[in-house]
Structure 1
Amino acid sequence: MPTFQSLGLEENFLRAISDLGFEAPSEVQEKTIPLLLEKETDLVSLAQTGTGKTAAFGFPMLQKITAESRTTQGLILSPTRELCLQITNELKAYGKYVDGLNIVAIYGGASITDQAKKIKKGAQIIVATPGRMKDMIGRRMIDISKIEYCVLDEADEMLNMGFYEDITEILSHSPEDKSTWLFSATMPKEVATIARKFMHTPVEISIGTKNVGAENVSHEYYLVNARDRYKALKRLADANPEIFSVVFCRTKRDTQKVAEQLIEDGYNAGAIHGDLSQNQRDMVMKSFRTRQIQMLVATDVAARGIDVDDITHVINYQLPDEIETYTHRSGRTGRAGKSGVSMVIVSKSEHRKIKTIEKIIQKKFVQKEIPSGMEICEHQLFHLATKIKDTEVNHEIDMYLDGINEILTDFSKEELIKKVFSVEFSRFYNYYKNAKDLNVTAGDTSTGSDAPGVRFFINLGARDDFNWMTLKDFLRDLMQLGKDDLYKVDVMDSFSFFNVEEKHKELVLDVFNSFKLNGRRITVEISKDGRRKGGSRSGGKGRKDGHKKGRKSDDRPKFKGKSRRKPQRPNDRGTGGKRRRR
């Protein structure tokens, strides 16, 4: 079995490893550390989240730099503030016995002047988010012209977040002969492109298989109507009393809404997303690490900084838009050799995505049923029994036993057990006694946002600066529809499709009778099978675009509230002629 001593690390780093309690290197550390210590090379390392990648690049960089020099020699780019701070703290722990070592974190949401002062004092290593790093280089607050090592950590996520241009700009200010180390959990084509552009014959190390899920994570999915998503989430939490989980939503709005609902219903929950201040995010993460929060509701971007080893469940409240993102999500659990569960709550229209994910992660999903109310009551009762059995007796209560016995003297052992357990049982029984079955099958035709409804054609698309989300918001606000009343939005280049329930059919036609946007007449027509059909009540001719047959769409986030503001044309442009789906 390999040891850290066999990897070629110096004594001061071995002392730090001993202090941290590391016993043996992980696979990525075993393969990466000796390679980077022995020679100057570019590297592409593919490994899942939670496999010890920070130590894999951190120790070689720390051992290779010259601490006596105040010149910046190492740069690490990471996608989020949380991950940036996490890497910085870990590197400081690894280099605690290196005299004169100065590692500085650079990220948005904090004083740029204070960060510039820290850099000016001399920082051998800078850990930065791309946006803030580009800004500071542009202001000439940072000089990376002499760096010897550059790490692109979570490269796939940085590219998913749109940092390609920032990374290109940053690296243009660095030496061509530096060593570049790219670490990523998945290998989409964008990561391969950046490797080709910025690296010279890199060595590739792959832990497991590209884009494959972690071995010790099991994958489950639960099929429900879209409108029952939140009820399903509550039942999954109640059926797992010891749950310590991250709940993933697609948008900041849904993340905040779900967390608020959980808190209102008595769960220890919190939200983490980009609209929170750095101080708020730090407070939420501190509460989560100390288990004051059991259910952390997060967006994919904000979750990049979550580094907690004991997460029992990942719950996909909504599936991500990019299937590869599921690998990152499920990697939050099953860390440090422990097992974990990744649950997915899916609607009927999303059901086919499960097969796509299975192909990418090369793992099978098990379809399970949302537990019934009585099953949850049973889970909670036996959880309470186990908790009582395992509780260590506090003998400080001994002095009160005579009084307690006097109060309870008329009850038998069986009666006392019934009374104690009724406290917990009654609470869940009263809530769940009339609870309906939330499970559906893929062939169900129940009403609600999963029903076929009426499908419409509209002559607005990506060319008009719409994507599926902004078009959905625009249409819902315009027609004053509820959160589940408009769905299955498919945006193409110059036109789109959307569904409403049958009862809203006349409303849609009336609203778009002679409706204009920025002086242009907007055409809405009833569609059949994703094709344009006659019967327009828009008062104008539609575009003569060729229409491809519509494919069944996926659910997208539901947005709360109704707005009476005048609809504005969004600035968030969709992707060319590609179909953006809901």
Structure 2
Amino acid sequence: MSTFTDLGLSAPVLKAIEALGFETPTEIQQRAIPELLTGDKDLVALAQTGTGKTAAFGLPLLECIDTDSRTTQAIILAPTRELCLQITNEMQAYAKFIPGFSVVAVYGGASIQEQARALKRGAHIIAATPGRIKDMISRGLADLSKVTYCVLDEADEMLNMGFYEDLTDILSHTPSDKSTWLFSATMPDAVARIAREFMHQPTELTVGGRNVATATVRHEYYLVGGRERYAALRRLADANPGLFSVVFCRTKRDAQKVAEKLIEDGYNAGALHGDLSQQQRDLVMSAFRKRQLQLLVATDVAARGIDVDDITHVIHYQLPDDIETYTHRSGRTGRAGKSGVSLIIMTRSERGRIRALERITGRPFEELPLPTGMEICEIQLYHLADSIRNTEIHPEVKTYLPAVNDLLDGLDRDDLIAKMVSVEFSRFAEFYAKNQDPKASPKAGGTSEQLPGNAPARFFINVGERDGLDWMILKDMLKEATGLGKEDIFKVETKDSFSFFSTEPEVAPLILESLKGANLEGREIKVELTDAPPAYKGKKKPWKKGGKPPYAKKGKGYGKPPGKKGKGYGKPAGKKNKKGKKQAGKG
């Protein structure tokens, strides 16, 4: 595996990379940086959102800039203000140890005169949105006549937003012999047209396949009635207590309406759409980045360029009209090697679009039933217990403990715990008692789990994200321990300190026997059936060969994982750790 030192970068740039804590370049960085450092050339690079494209073009761009000259030597065009600012901030961080370097952000919604004054002072690189830089060129406030490098970032998104004419106008004010670097997640016809018209024999790099979604994202869909979308959204939010998600709507009106209903129902939610002022958008995005909002309800246009770490889920309240837009949406999660989940709420009339989505993304989609009220109550109960266990005791509380003890006098430990968790548990139990569970699809999950007498076996396991596990790693761990196949373990859901997974009922005894005595980092793994299905009762052990299950030596389980000390589970023995080292870039 190569390092940034192997890519041919200069000492000041390497020093900045080290200061940022980046160790290993991503695939697009490994391939693009040496290519761009070899000389003046045009490049088309296709890679998904979150693979480090900003560093892939930003680092070599810094090596090509002459800081002794005050002229603008490069322009980076991005579709949104948020992405424009992100690129500017990252370029400043990469150039931390390059004296005299200047990059200026030019975007709408801010003072055009202040941006003009910043350009007049000297900007080696301009990071701009198409509309504002076109306006500044027409007013004579920006000069691109000496630009030697032009970068089109998220080119497909810019063209989807209708910036084709703006791009052609902007590029007409730049020298014909400049180098053009085009970075895009997909390669629709409009992007290919830009490459043909404004680039000369470009080198093409493709990471992960054209228009293919990232492999770290799991895709699920839920069939509901047209009037049940909002109820389904609530169930999915309640079933994932640690949810940190972007909820996509097709229209500004729907985004505002859904956000208002979520807020009214007690969720930490906010809307992001084109009818908001720039100040309102900044406030919403600031709250979301600080995780003060759990759910950001957005339109596709408003969400362009959102760069927020650790988004756990993308929820498609409505599918986009353009199927390729789905790839952009789902790319907001599962970034930098982390896993994520893309959830679709859809009607039966839309079900036919699933095959087209699978074809375009190159990923399988799983149909699942919406969680029942009791399943949600169970998840919330475990989450509450875990929150209580990990809550730090406030020093001032001790002052009031004698009086509190008097009030609770006569309650034994079990009664006290039951009453304490019932305060929160009752809220969900009462709500879902009044709201009927949705009718499940007869083929939900691609299994026979909805047939009478053959319900799936649902398991609770006492390890989760705090142990370094995500749904992919946990599924691999269970497959390794039990010898089951990929399709035998499904509905894997990891929470903070516990998780759930399902299997067919006939393999439930194998699960329990295989994980008996297993441990993780020296801590005993406990697995329990949350609700033993009818098909499990009275079943004999399904395995053959004398009744011995295919698992490791009894009492040892996984033992100590092969990953680095203190880093959680990582991956099962004999397989490369998926977590890897920290990777540079986010865009």
Amino acid at match of 1:373: G
Aligned residue in 1 for 2:296: 296
Aligned residue in 1 for 2:232: 232
**Whole-Å separation in 2 of the counterparts to 1:128 and 1:442:** 51
Aligned residue in 2 for 1:339: 339
Q: TM-score, normalised by structure 2?
A: 0.74
Aligned residue in 2 for 1:494: none
More relative contact order, 1 or 2 (CA 8 Å, 6+ apart): 2
Q: Deviations over 1:169-204 (max 9, x none)?
A: 110111111110000001111111111111111111
Change (3 A) 1:442 1:167: farther
Aligned residue in 2 for 1:21: 21
Which secondary structure does the structure 2 equivalent of 1:314 belong to?
A: strand
- The 5 A counterparts of 1:112-511 are 112-394=112-394, 397-439=397-439, 441=441
**Whole-Å separation in 2 of the counterparts to 1:336 and 1:386:** 28
Aligned residue in 2 for 1:40: 40
Which secondary structure does the structure 1 equivalent of 2:296 belong to?
A: strand
Alpha carbons 1:217, 1:333 under 8 Å: kept: yes
Which secondary structure does the structure 2 equivalent of 1:302 belong to?
A: coil
Which secondary structure does the structure 2 equivalent of 1:109 belong to?
A: coil
1:393: Cα distance to partner? Answer: 4.2
Alpha carbons 2:83, 2:304 under 8 Å: kept: yes
Amino acid at match of 2:133: M
Q: Deviations over 1:376-428 (max 9, x none)?
A: 11111111112223334445534443333332220011100110111011111
Alpha carbons 1:255, 1:299 under 8 Å: kept: yes
Aligned residue in 2 for 1:460: none
**Whole-Å separation in 2 of the counterparts to 1:14 and 1:152:** 24
Alpha carbons 1:312, 1:340 under 8 Å: kept: yes
Which secondary structure does the structure 2 equivalent of 1:59 belong to?
A: helix
Alpha carbons 2:370, 2:440 under 8 Å: kept: no
1:9: Cα distance to partner? Answer: 1.2
1:353: Cα distance to partner? Answer: 0.9
Alpha carbons 1:271, 1:284 under 8 Å: kept: yes
Amino acid at match of 1:115: Q
Paired residues in the alignment total 444
Aligned residue in 2 for 1:531: none
Change (3 A) 1:103 1:442: farther
Amino acid at match of 1:180: T
Which runs of 5 or more structure 2 residues have no equivalent in the other structure? 444-587
Q: Deviations over 1:222-271 (max 9, x none)?
A: 00011111111011001101100000011111111111111111100011
**Whole-Å separation in 1 of the counterparts to 2:237 and 2:257:** 17
Which secondary structure does the structure 1 equivalent of 2:434 belong to?
A: coil
Aligned residue in 2 for 1:485: none
**Whole-Å separation in 2 of the counterparts to 1:38 and 1:418:** 68
**Whole-Å separation in 1 of the counterparts to 2:77 and 2:98:** 22
Alpha carbons 1:351, 1:442 under 8 Å: kept: no
**Whole-Å separation in 2 of the counterparts to 1:178 and 1:119:** 20
1:437: Cα distance to partner? Answer: 2.8
1:442: Cα distance to partner? Answer: 9.1
Q: Deviations over 1:113-165 (max 9, x none)?
A: 22111111111101111111111111111110110100000000111111111
1:25: Cα distance to partner? Answer: 0.8
Alpha carbons 2:134, 2:170 under 8 Å: kept: yes
**Whole-Å separation in 1 of the counterparts to 2:205 and 2:135:** 32
1:366: Cα distance to partner? Answer: 0.5
Q: Deviations over 1:322-358 (max 9, x none)?
A: 1011111000001122110000000112111111101
**Whole-Å separation in 1 of the counterparts to 2:132 and 2:250:** 24
Which runs of 5 or more structure 1 residues have no equivalent in the other structure? 444-582
Identity percentage over the alignment?
64
How large is the RMSD of aligned CA atoms in angstroms?
1.6
| Worse-matched range after superposition: 327-336 or 273-282 | 273-282
Alpha carbons 2:369, 2:441 under 8 Å: kept: no
Aligned residue in 1 for 2:86: 86
Aligned residue in 1 for 2:549: none
Which secondary structure does the structure 1 equivalent of 2:429 belong to?
A: helix
Alpha carbons 1:309, 1:336 under 8 Å: kept: no
Alpha carbons 1:348, 1:441 under 8 Å: kept: no
Alpha carbons 1:2, 1:30 under 8 Å: kept: yes
**Whole-Å separation in 1 of the counterparts to 2:292 and 2:305:** 18
**Whole-Å separation in 1 of the counterparts to 2:250 and 2:62:** 37
**Whole-Å separation in 2 of the counterparts to 1:227 and 1:41:** 54
Q: TM-score, normalised by structure 1?
A: 0.74
1:86: Cα distance to partner? Answer: 1.0
Q: Deviations over 1:434-458 (max 9, x none)?
A: 2123346499xxxxxxxxxxxxxxx
Amino acid at match of 1:333: T
**Whole-Å separation in 2 of the counterparts to 1:393 and 1:22:** 36
Alpha carbons 1:222, 1:439 under 8 Å: kept: no
**Whole-Å separation in 2 of the counterparts to 1:423 and 1:98:** 57
**Whole-Å separation in 1 of the counterparts to 2:7 and 2:304:** 28
Which secondary structure does the structure 1 equivalent of 2:320 belong to?
A: coil
**Whole-Å separation in 1 of the counterparts to 2:349 and 2:110:** 42
**Whole-Å separation in 2 of the counterparts to 1:89 and 1:284:** 19
Amino acid at match of 2:235: R
**Whole-Å separation in 2 of the counterparts to 1:423 and 1:17:** 49
Alpha carbons 1:223, 1:439 under 8 Å: kept: no
1:429: Cα distance to partner? Answer: 1.4
Q: Deviations over 1:47-92 (max 9, x none)?
A: 0000010010001111111112110000000111111111111111
Which secondary structure does the structure 2 equivalent of 1:70 belong to?
A: coil
